[in-house]
Chain A
Amino acid sequence: MPDTAVRELTFAEAIREALAEEMRRDTRVIILGEDVAEAGTPFKVLSGLVEEFGTTRVIDTPISEAGFTGLAVGAAMTGMRPVVDIMFGDFLTLTMDQMVNQAAKVHYMSGGHLKVPMVLRTTLGATRRSAAQHSQSLHVWFSHIPGLKVVMPSTPYDAKGLLKSAIRDENPVAFFEDKMMYKLTGPVPAEDYTVPLGVADIKRAGTDITLVATSSMVHTALAAARLLDEVGISAEVVDPRTTSPLDRDTLIESVKKTSRAIVVDEGHEQYGVTAEIAAVIAEGAFYHLDAPVRRLGAMDVPVPFSPPLEDVTVPTERTVFDLARSLCGKI
């Protein structure tokens, strides 16, 4: 009989549990990154893993993102299943050639003869008072590249199930964790389960407006939806869960039902994930729309340090609420 117990885990615990279970299941799964072993990363997401799996599988690297990401690409091509830890998403700039020119292209350019089953875990999200080089949400860059998959979990349940799918996937997968969510708790079953990549989840059903939201913005959208309830607006919250592949059908079907949509994502608004999803909705549900599809992303400025400045650069439940109310004509 399967163990059907459902525990409350934090987002960080769910990620750690997914890694531990996959490392027990498959000895080819290893972790590489800066201060991943005894330190368990600055966010303590990996605490305890080196004690179980040893330093041959939880491997501290030099501060050398291009070097160890490139090494992981080669290791993945030759039989390993590396999980690379990039401490801050801002450091993705240093991995770009390895991920974009190498990992993303290998399968295609080898005519399908080589593959790169690796995961790159990293963080996103502002409001941690960390300034512009430790606060960016750069997932759109990888979402732009054919050959890569991009995962953006919003709950402990999704984080565990999606990470297990990412590790089992035969392609390079970038997995973005909002560092402000590590302490968020939620139900996580004890038994083995996966969440497939490319399937959106309706986090809250509604009839008047669709709020498409990613990562921690799902919680911002859910909070806005509760406020909207109070003024008689029923909001549906749809979480794509992966920006590549993108579950277009679920997004379009939701907007066909509600006739209005706001896309909320913490990447910069210009040329961003919000722009792409808004275009998908506009193309797929145009004749059902009662209002223009609107975007709410991070303001197009470098993330400021000073708290009163930083706080106005990201979408909040209030900005989502205000925009939704105006789109529904109830101001």
Chain B
Amino acid sequence: MTLASRPTQAVPEIAADRGLEMYSQMAQIRAFEEKVSELYTRAIMPGLAHLYIGQEAVAVGVCQALRRDDYITSTHRGHGHCLAKGASPDRMFAELLGKEAGYCAGRGGSMHIADPVTGNLGANAIVAGSVGIATGAAFSAKWQGTDQVAVCFFGEGALGQGVLYEAMNLAQLWALPVLYVCENNLYNEYTHYGETTAGDILARPAAFGIHGERVDGQDVLAVWGVATRLVARARRGQGPAFLLCDTYRYRGHHVGDINRTFYRSKEEEQEWMTTRDPVARFGEWLCEQGFAVPTALEEVGTRLHAEIDEAAQFALDAPYPAPADVRRHAYA
């Protein structure tokens, strides 16, 4: 696959306010992640974080197609999914810093943010670790007769895990309302997916009879358009679908992965960042459509940065959990 091989999709119709909301969500994710990077660089954040910068259009495009009570499961690179599903940056920062006010009371950290109030059943640090959970949530929805849909986000690295195919087999056998969203950011950690992935990716869902589509993951409108169709299809009882999103992470596998030339070139990174940036592209499109003017988008950015600073400050000021409570939540 080359950068130029972008699938073409008809531009779905969108109202101005929803377009601006999508822009704002993508910009919020980027501002959040830049702040995370800063907190790591200043040695304020414990552990590591896997930044979602570059992939924002996938999380936002898919989650905009969902209801609040629909389910998602996420990955180690999960901040974008959590925010797009409605999580609040202050409690996310608190979790990243290991504070009691965090979404998981500091017990989970960056790779495990869960927020059942927004349908987020948890980010997961095992590659393909959440495919059973998402498929089970879809099973629950179908069994209980709700019309909820579950979305399972995973990277192309998960294509090497057997449990993904076990779950897909069950989902198609039982016509479960689950959407498998494969974010192909080209790299399984430090290895190009071409070295790890035999055959054609979309041949995998096809083998199970699962409807599969491919979309430009840097085009939020295109992602939103196809996700809306696939979610509606699942909600109608027409079973699972598989959405392959071509995307790119701008930063390293995690915040500490600085020198990346041994696995990818600076030219490649520059090309994605300058020609296919999802936030910039969508901002330009909004202006072309007359939905926004550049100064208004700049104001959105300024406001979001202030909100992110405030959210991070909330987390910095928040207390740590008491060591005496370390066993709390081990058992329900």
Contacts and interface: CB of A to CB of B under 8 A. Distances in A.
Interface of A: 30, 56, 61-62, 64, 66-80, 97-98, 101-102, 106-115, 117, 146-147, 149, 170-171
Contact of A79 (B114, B144, B332): B144
A71 to B, nearest CB: 4
B104 A111 contact: yes
A66 B133 contact: no
B150 to A, nearest CB: 8
A111 B103 contact: yes
Contact of B132 (A71, A80, A115, A170): A71
Contacts of A67: 132, 135, 163, 166-167, 169-170
A70 B131 contact: yes
Interface of B: 71, 73, 102-108, 112, 114-116, 121-122, 124, 126, 129-141, 143-144, 150, 162-163, 166-167, 169-170, 173, 328-332
Contacts of A56: 143
Contacts of B106: 111
A97 B163 contact: yes
Given A74-B135, A109-B104, A68 B332 contact: no
B296 to A, nearest CB: 37
B330 A108 contact: yes
A111 B102 contact: yes
B85 to A, nearest CB: 14
B330 A107 contact: yes
B107 A109 contact: yes
A106 B331 CA distance: 10
A79 B137 CA distance: 9
A284 B328 CA distance: 25
B136 A76 contact: yes
B170 A68 contact: yes
Most buried by A among B105, B106, B136: B136
B332 A71 contact: no
Given A62-B169, A110-B114, A170-B332, A77 B133 contact: yes
Given A71-B167, A78-B71, A112 B329 contact: yes
Contact of A77 (B137, B167, B330): B137
A98 B161 CA distance: 13
A70 B132 contact: yes
Contact of A72 (B114, B136, B141, B144): B136
7 contacts: A69-B132, A73-B136, A74-B140, A77-B133, A78-B141, A80-B140, A111-B108
A269 B169 CA distance: 39
A98 B134 CA distance: 12
